[in-house]
Amino acid sequence: MTGMLASVANLAEARLAAAAGADIIDLKAPRFGALGALPVSEVRLIVTELRGQRPISATVGDLPMCPSTVFAAVQEMAATGVDYVKIGFFPEGDWDGTLEILRSMAAAGVSLVAVLFADQPAELDWLPRLAKAGFAGAMLDTMDKDRGSLTEVRDAEFLRAFVNQAQAHGLLCGLAGSLRARDIVPLRELAPDYLGFRGALCHGARRVAEIDVNALQYIRAMLHASTATA
């Protein structure tokens, strides 16, 4: 069954998402970029209050693919106690070196999720390499939120291949990227493990708007309705 990931920017939003039944509470700061990171102190506060209620993920920020920089950020975020640490694989930089340096962290039990970007070259051959490095999951998102939703950036054939290959290699698979209610049914048919939402949960500009509980409940109901009828 496809679950719902709700991206939240503070404790108040995290409480709303948990109460509304979001399957994963995802901590990020949209005002700082596609994968903007919340302060570690705030992440720790949210984890302390919501630990055990829902799985919690957190991004480490829009970082250059510099192995030592990414490693330090992942190490710091993992220490907060989140269930998953999300790392954006941004264009250019040292992807191989970053993957290699994170092997030890994955081996130590940190659940790492790689975020690849559909509006950038997102080669599917990275999926087996992520699995071999010990990553727990792979997510397909978008960098430029003004280009439209994931379904407008990539065709169904590519999205299906991403989901199938990720799951074939034992990776938890998520799809996100300016998703709206209209995207739920076609993406649910691909059977990803979860769909990620932020803008659809807010009224107003994604980067500054706050989550609206009615929008959150509506998206969750849509997702579960499509699941029930699939």
Tens of pLDDT, residue by residue over 153-170, are 999 999 999 999 999 999
Among 20, 28, 46, 194, which one carries the catalytic annotation?
Answer: 28
Q: Compute CA distances 182 → 17, 29, 31, 186, 222, whole Å.
A: 20, 25, 25, 8, 9
Single-letter code of the amino acid located at 145: K
C-alpha radius of gyration, the chain, whole number: 16
Residue 204 pLDDT = 60
- Indicate if the pLDDT at residue 227 is higher than 70: no
The candidate with the shortest Cα–Cα distance to 173, out of 190, 148, 156, is 190
Q: Is the pTM of this model over 0.85?
A: yes
Asked about 132 being catalytic, the answer comes back as no
The conformation of residue 7, written as its DSSP 8-state character, comes to E
Residue 223 pLDDT = 93
Among 5, 55, 60, 86, which one carries the catalytic annotation?
Answer: 86
Asked about 145 being catalytic, the answer comes back as no
